[in-house]
Structure 1
Amino acid sequence: MTETTPPPSLLSSGRRRWLAIGVGALAGLGGAGLAAWRLSPGPAQPDAAAQLWGATFEGLQGEPLRMADLRGRPLLLNFWATWCPPCVQELPLLDRFHAEQRARGWQVVGLAIDQAANVQKFLQRVPLQFPLALGGLAGSDIGRALGNERGGLPFTVLFAADGSILKRKMGELTPEDLALWATLA
């Protein structure tokens, strides 16, 4: 009986390990780059802020929410939906921010890209103190004008008291984001 020996490997186990680590690192960097690209808002259209300040949205009780009435104080505008897990996750954080910052003149508005019935049902489970309105197609169009070219949610825009755009973020806000933003306006 003859004994067969396996063919010699082209790469030693140490080299294979380093090659695997290198390939893994490159894949990770590529994934991080893709995520950063997807989560970076595009440029805002030159008239985006004017579009927002000229808009009126329907409140949850049918009352109008005129954005022009909110000018003159810092505004955090959050585009969200009940079917969006990161949106739902950040809403209590936004509610705490609203409670902590309103005495300093801050306003927080949630613009739901959703159906009124879905938002009403959601608010029975998760009550929120800051104003909410229904965005509809006009809200989606304004979101795109503000740089949310892909229509992703959540999308948040911080406006200065003069109505200019200070910050924008695609994706879920963090407590660190809000702590930094509170110092800007």
Structure 2
Amino acid sequence: MTLAPELAVTRWFNAGEPLTLAALRGRPVLLHAFQMLCPGCVAHGTPQTQRAFELFKHSDLQVIGLHTVFEHHDAMTPVSLEAFIHEYRLTFPIGVDQPGEDTPIPVTMQRYGMQGTPTIILIGRNGNIVHHGFGQQSDMALGAIIAAELANTPG
């Protein structure tokens, strides 16, 4: 198992304060990397993440969206993202991935070796990556993976 790298976020939406994996250690974290102009993200990944957020809100699962822009940078600004979040009624915390230096690939995306969006990553209570999936993920399979990790009680 691999320890999940820390998130590199420049701005947060739907979060009272910045979230860090270090502060969330001991809780499972569902990380959904998306772009608002990604058809698979809009049609499947982001709605799936909203459903997971609502379904597991009474558990200790922390759901986090990561807007990780690696193309069409001028179109997908934080102002556009704010409108997107409002229009799609997204209520889970969403961070904006830090732009990469000398590369169009954002920092967190690089750290996790993501192939693109949508990407779903489940980080276990111990901080290790439990699941790293690219593309459309089955609701049933993702729910089973989350439930298994939630069953791993601390201590």
* Fold-level similarity (TM above 0.5): yes
Q: Which runs of 5+ in 1 are unaligned?
A: 1-43
Cα gap change, 1:69/1:56 in structure 2, threshold over 3 Å: closer, same or farther? farther
How far apart are 1:78 and its partner, in Å? 0.9
Distance in 1, Cα, partners of 2:68 & 2:134: 15
> Which of 141, 165, 169 is the equivalent residue of 2:107?
141
Identity %: 26
TM-score by length of 2: 0.75
Higher mean C-alpha displacement, 129-138 vs 81-90:
129-138
Distance in 1, Cα, partners of 2:36 & 2:24: 24
Distance in 2, Cα, partners of 1:143 & 1:158: 15
Answer yes or no: is the 8 Å Cα contact 1:74–1:106 preserved in 2: yes
Using CA pairs under 8 Å that are at least 6 residues apart, name the structure with larger relative contact order, 1 or 2: 2
What RMSD over aligned residues (CA atoms) do the two structures have, in Å?
2.5
Name the structure 1 match of 2:52: 97
Cα gap change, 1:153/1:133 in structure 2, threshold over 3 Å: closer, same or farther? same
Distance in 1, Cα, partners of 2:14 & 2:93: 11
How far apart are 1:75 and its partner, in Å? 0.4
Answer yes or no: is the 8 Å Cα contact 2:9–2:97 preserved in 1: no
Q: Which runs of 5+ in 2 are unaligned?
A: 70-76, 150-155
TM-score by length of 1: 0.64
Name the structure 1 match of 2:74: none
Name the structure 2 match of 1:88: 42
Question: Which amino acid is 1:80 matched to?
Answer: F
Q: Deviations over 1:71-120 (max 9, x none)?
A: 22000101111010111122122111111112121111001124211211
